[in-house]
Amino acid sequence: MEPALSPTRRDEDWRYSDVEALASLDQDTFENWRDIDVAAGESVCESIVIDAASGTDLRRLRVRIGKGGRCELFAVNAGGRLGRVEIVVRLATGAHFEFGGVTLGGGDTTREFVTRVAHGEPGATSNQTVRSVHWDSGTGNFLGRIDVVRDAQKTNAGQDFKALLLNKGASANAVPQLEIFADDVKCNHGATVGQLDEAARFYMAARGIPPELSQKLLIRAFLADAFLALGDEAERERLLELALDALGERA
Amino acid sequence: MLKIDNLHAEVGGTQILNGLTLEVNAGEIHAIMGPNGAGKSTLAYVLGGRPGYQVTDGSVSFMGKNLLDMDPHERAALGLFLGFQYPVEIPGVSNVQFLREALNAQRKSRGEEPLSAGDFLKLAREKAALLQMDMDMLKRNVNVGFSGGEKKRAEMVQMGILGPKMAVLDETDSGLDIDALRIVGDGINAMQRAPDKAVLLITHYQRLLEVVKPDFVHVLAKGRIVKTGGADLALTLESEGYEAVAA
């Protein structure tokens, strides 16, 4: 059974979420998990976009990747009072999971990614890159759990989270959780929260670039990291533009 | 072109410039020399409009306008170029993108049409060649992974592309080996030595002034200009030291 509706902030997975926003969801939506099954040796690449103007958008995905398979998911999480994407991944031998996501939001919105990547067999790799830009009282969260079982030797798993807060009052939370029971693995994670680089902005201004444009260029460069692994250039541009649209006059 | 009168400025509550007066006319190259802490870099940043650099008294006019009333990007569009002692790295933004955005933002604010991608690349290639930089370097991210010398050469390529009326170059010679110093110096001569342009060179050493011959040399000490002379003053400074000359 999946957890019942109405989690509280006492639940580790909902600690930084806007649980009140869930009231607008019915039980069916809440229990609806979408399955992505990647057969052995196959590869799947998908984009997830949340850009609804209001309300709450919860997406739950269950990904199983067969032997040597590959699944790449890229997400723009920039809509709803609460925009939440949960991804549970199971990797077979030699499989790869790639995730690149951005969260953007102002007002009182919360935008979050919750991933749980299980390396259940040897030699699988996973890489997750999340970039968050928030303003007003907006919140961006990345809760990323990586489980490596005892047999999953030669696992290589990485997680990288960076958040940019455009004003005081905005916040970002990173909760990396690594549970590793194998001894020959590489796992790394990094998380930073910061502001726009003022030295870079002055440098750009000194070359004639007005503040609005330098902010846009810097944010664009910051967000682009999340989609670097996306091979399809047109799709990469589309996702980046969607993300920048969410910034409105800020970029 | 640039008229600084009785300029006082402070940084973080500490008074750094104490009544600096200086006039630079079109066609002139001025050098400002002085010991550490004299206020050389502060002068450059105040002219560029860096946040945190507070002008407490005095005035600066540039091209007949009150420079201190303008935002940094407006100063650039009016033709002021600030060469940084420590050029800033901007990951994720290529030199080509950065400079094209900068040039077109300047042109827009002057009411000129933007330069096309093709015309821009032609201009960039020409200026990069002057500084012996190849285009591959310009395709890389701004200053990221550049050596100290490469950053300074890249600054000069930027100057060439933007074509300012006046260049304020803050220790552009620091971190350069002898060959790079000549390349940068020749670049300054080729791009900024013109009847309608001017240069304010801020430097510790006389070396760069052998390549870029100044019309005037000023000694800055304790936030004001204490001595002004010709190119030979730099030689005197080099042999006798600041203390003896500025005393």
Does pLDDT of B21 surpass 90? yes
- φ and ψ at residue B127, rounded to 5 degrees: -70, -35
Q: Which of B101, B104, B142, B168 to mutate to test the interface with A (most CBs of A within 10 A)?
A: B101
Tens of pLDDT, residue by residue over B85-129, are 999 999 999 999 999 999 999 999 999 999 999 999 999 999 999
Shortest Cα distance, chain B CAs vs residue A188, angstroms: 22
Does pLDDT of B200 surpass 90? yes
Mean pLDDT, rounded, for A118-142: 97
Residue of chain A minimizing CA distance to B143: A200
Q: Does A232 touch chain B (CB under 8 A)?
A: no
Q: What is the pLDDT of residue A251?
A: 61
Per cent of chain B over pLDDT 90 is: 81
Q: Which of B73, B103, B120, B127 to mutate to test the interface with A (most CBs of A within 10 A)?
A: B73
For the stretch A58-89, what's the b/e string if a residue is b when 16 or more beta carbons lie within 10 angstroms of its beta carbon? Answer: bbbbbbbbbebbbbbbbbbbbbbbbbbbbbbb
Report whether A218 contacts B90 (CB < 8 A): yes
Contact A210 B103 (CB under 8 A): no
What is the three-state SS of B58-100? EEEEECCEEHHHCCHHHHHHCCEEEECCCCCCEEEEEHHHHHH
Q: What is the pLDDT of chain B when averaged over all its residues?
A: 93
For the stretch B208-240, what's the b/e string if a residue is b when 16 or more beta carbons lie within 10 angstroms of its beta carbon? Answer: bbebbebebbbbbbbbbbbbebebebbebbeee
* H helical segments located in chain A: 27-31, 198-206, 211-224, 233-246
Mean pLDDT, rounded, for A193-198: 94
> Dihedral of the CA atoms B152, B170, B204, B228 (nearest 10)?
140
Q: Does B146 touch chain A (CB under 8 A)?
A: no
Q: What is the pLDDT of residue B37?
A: 87
Tens of pLDDT, residue by residue over A25-84, are 888 878 889 999 999 999 999 999 998 766 789 999 999 999 999 999 999 999 989 999
Residue of chain B minimizing CA distance to A196: B90
Longest CA pairwise span in chain A (Å) = 59
Structure-model confidence comparison of residues A54 and B18, the more confident one: B18
Q: How many CB pairs (< 8 A) connect A and B? A: 76
Q: What is the pLDDT of residue B117?
A: 93
Q: Which of A2-16, A184-198, B41-55 has the lowest mean pLDDT?
A: A2-16
Per cent of chain A over pLDDT 90 is: 83
Report chain B residues whose CB lies below 8 A from the CB of A198: 51
Contact B102 A217 (CB under 8 A): no
Report chain B residues whose CB lies below 8 A from the CB of A217: 93, 97-98, 101
Report chain B residues whose CB lies below 8 A from the CB of A197: 88, 90
Report whether B215 contacts B29 (CB < 8 A): yes
Contact A210 B106 (CB under 8 A): no
Amino acid at B208: L
Mean pLDDT, rounded, for B45-51: 96
CA–CA distance, A181 with B199 (Å, rounded to integer)? 64
Mean pLDDT, rounded, for A117-138: 97
Residue A177 pLDDT level (bands cut at 50, 70, 90): very high
Please, what is the Cα angle at A191 between A187 and A194, to 5 degrees? 165
Does pLDDT of A2 surpass 70? no
State pTM to two decimals. Answer: 0.89
For A33, the 3-state DSSP assignment is coil
Q: What is the pLDDT of chain A when averaged over all its residues?
A: 93
Report chain B residues whose CB lies below 8 A from the CB of A211: 71, 73
Looking at the domain B2-246, which fold is it? Rossmann fold (3.40.50)
Q: Does A225 touch chain B (CB under 8 A)?
A: yes
CA–CA distance, B8 with A50 (Å, rounded to integer)? 53
CA–CA distance, A99 with A110 (Å, rounded to integer)? 20
CA-based nearest residue to B71, from A199, A213, A209, A249: A209
Q: Which of B67, B93, B157 to mutate to test the interface with A (most CBs of A within 10 A)?
A: B93
Q: What is the pLDDT of residue A1?
A: 41
Q: What is the pLDDT of residue A53?
A: 67
Report whether A221 contacts B92 (CB < 8 A): yes
Q: What is the pLDDT of residue B209?
A: 92
| Residue A58 falls in which region: left (phi positive, over 0), alpha (psi -120 to 50) or beta | beta
Does pLDDT of B240 surpass 90? no
CA–CA distance, B247 with B231 (Å, rounded to integer)? 19
CA–CA distance, B104 with B127 (Å, rounded to integer)? 17
Residue B210, both tokens: 């052998």
Does pLDDT of A3 surpass 60? no
Does pLDDT of B190 surpass 90? yes
